[in-house]
């Protein structure tokens, strides 16, 4: 992780669902950086793994709160956090970053969260309530037992805005997401975070919506198909540092920059966290990320350089 970090002490750890633990991390007063709803932090583990976690509430009094699903089939980051990190331990964390910010001043907001994707939306619901904004919050969980923060949600001041859909077993409450989205008024701003299937259904249903009317956040990379003909070498010019070099087909743009002495902050290296997003001055881009919004990709002005490239044989000019 090249992004700068700060030490944060684990001051609380609580099991909030059978496979989900919440952690309250206290940063040093001088290092603490405030954040808006939708933000996430990078957590660097003792093993060296770096993972991103959304803040479940806007941070106050120098503390950040996250909730982590223990992923049995993952590469070990969440298991390490849930199994080995205890109250009193110190972790290295980044300052918060927000790829999923709340648009201000909308007439109505629709929040839809599935599984652990609930986390950034919890912070949004709290924030919208504090701002006295109109919103509806749909939550999908398999059963009441696996819904994290269930008691807190049920007793919140905004509980009347919450619609919980239990999807497990014979539960009758499965959310008809296409129907919900189609019934949404054009002035409603939509935010969705959840499993890949939920996000794929949302993308499919809103294909003809105006750009920006629905915002999504992905915790894992989307199914981006890399066309082999887009994998060739291309030239890079770095406008501010005045360099020119070629990126080989088997080297990422992020690594090529680093090999040429230009270090850009990065964390996930799989196009999901947004840390490496870099301004582009010109070029034919081949986007492979899961963190930019469609309008940002179409603008041609930003790219996630850990996974995205330029068309083979072309010249890319970056503002670095
Ligand atoms: C912006 C952002 C916010 C996030 N917020 C949260 C949050 O609030 N709570 C939370 O629990 N998680 C969150 N995540 C996900 C988190 O960062 C980790 O990915 C997650 O904890 C799993 O880590 P892991 O090392 O256990 O598994 P990973 O190895 O990261 O695997 C994650 C999933 O990918 C699949 N996978 C397994 N092996 C591989 C492989 N070799 N390559 C690619 N994929 C594989 C698995 O199916 C697994 O379920 C967030 C991610 C992002 C980008
Ligand atoms: S490092 Fe996470 S998107 Fe590139």
Three-class secondary structure assignment of the chain: CCCCEEEEEEEEEEEEECCEEEEEEEECCCCCCCCCCCCEEEEECCCCCEEEEEECCCCECCEEEEEEECCCCCCCHHHHHHHHCCCCCEEEEECCECCCCCCCCCCEEEEEEEHHHHHHHHHHHHHHHHCCCCEEEEEEECCHHHCCCHHHHHCCCCHHHEEEEECCCCCCCCCCHHHHHHCCCCCEEEEEECCHHHHHHHHHHCCCCCCCCEEEECCCCCCCCCCHHHCCCEEEEECCCCEEEEECCCCCHHHHHHHCCCCCCCCCCCCCCCCCEEEEEECCEECCCCCCCHHHHHHCCEEECCCCEECCCCEEEECC
Class of the domain covering 108-217: alpha beta
pTM: 0.92
Choices 3.30.950.10, 3.30.420.40, 3.40.50.300, 3.10.20.30: CATH for 228-318: 3.10.20.30
Which residue of 275, 302, 308 sits with most ligand 2 atoms within 8 Å of its CB, as the best mutation to test the pocket? 275
Instruction: Sketch the domain layout of the chain as residue ranges.
Output: 5-94, 108-217, 228-318
pLDDT 10s digits, 115-136: 999 999 999 999 999 999 999 9
pLDDT 10s digits, 148-205: 999 999 999 999 999 999 987 666 678 999 999 999 999 999 999 999 999 999 999 9
Q: Would you say domain 5-94 falls under CATH 3.30.1490.20?
A: no
Ligand 1 atom at minimal distance to the Cα of residue 52: 17
128 lines ligand 1 (CB under 6 A): no
């Amino acid at each position: 992780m090249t992004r700068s970090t700060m030490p944060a002490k684990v001051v609380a750890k609580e099991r909030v669902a059978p496979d989900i633990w919440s952690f309250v991390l206290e940063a040093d007063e001088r290092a603490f950086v405030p954040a808006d709803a939708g933000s996430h932090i990078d957590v660097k583990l003792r093993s060296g793994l770096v993972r991103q976690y959304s803040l479940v509430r806007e941070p106050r009094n120098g503390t950040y709160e996250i909730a982590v699903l223990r992923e049995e089939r993952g590469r070990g980051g969440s298991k390490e956090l849930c199994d080995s990190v205890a109250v009193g331990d110190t972790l290295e964390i980044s300052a918060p970053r927000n790829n999923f910010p709340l648009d201000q001043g909308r007439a109505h907001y629709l929040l839809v969260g599935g599984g652990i994707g609930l986390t950034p939306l919890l912070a949004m619901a709290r924030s919208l309530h504090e701002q006295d904004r109109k919103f509806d919050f749909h939550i999908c969980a398999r059963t009441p037992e696996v819904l994290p923060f269930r008691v807190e949600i049920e007793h919140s001041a905004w509980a009347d805005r919450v619609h919980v859909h239990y999807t497990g077993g014979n539960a009758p409450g499965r959310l008809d997401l296409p129907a919900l989205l189609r019934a949404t008024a054009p002035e409603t701003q939509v935010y969705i975070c959840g499993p890949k299937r939920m996000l794929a259904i949302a993308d499919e249903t809103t294909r003809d919506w105006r750009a920006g009317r629905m915002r999504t956040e992905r915790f894992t990379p989307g199914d981006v198909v890399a066309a082999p003909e887009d994998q060739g070498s291309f030239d890079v010019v770095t406008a501010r540092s005045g360099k020119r070099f070629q990126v080989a087909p088997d080297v990422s743009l992020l690594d090529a920059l680093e090999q040429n002495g230009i270090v850009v902050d990065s964390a996930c290296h799989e196009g999901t966290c947004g840390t490496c997003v870099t301004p582009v001055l010109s070029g034919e881009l081949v986007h492979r990320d899961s963190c930019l919004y469609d309008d940002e990709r179409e603008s041609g002005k930003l790219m996630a350089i850990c996974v995205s490239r330029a068309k083979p044989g072309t010249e890319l000019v970056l503002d670095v």
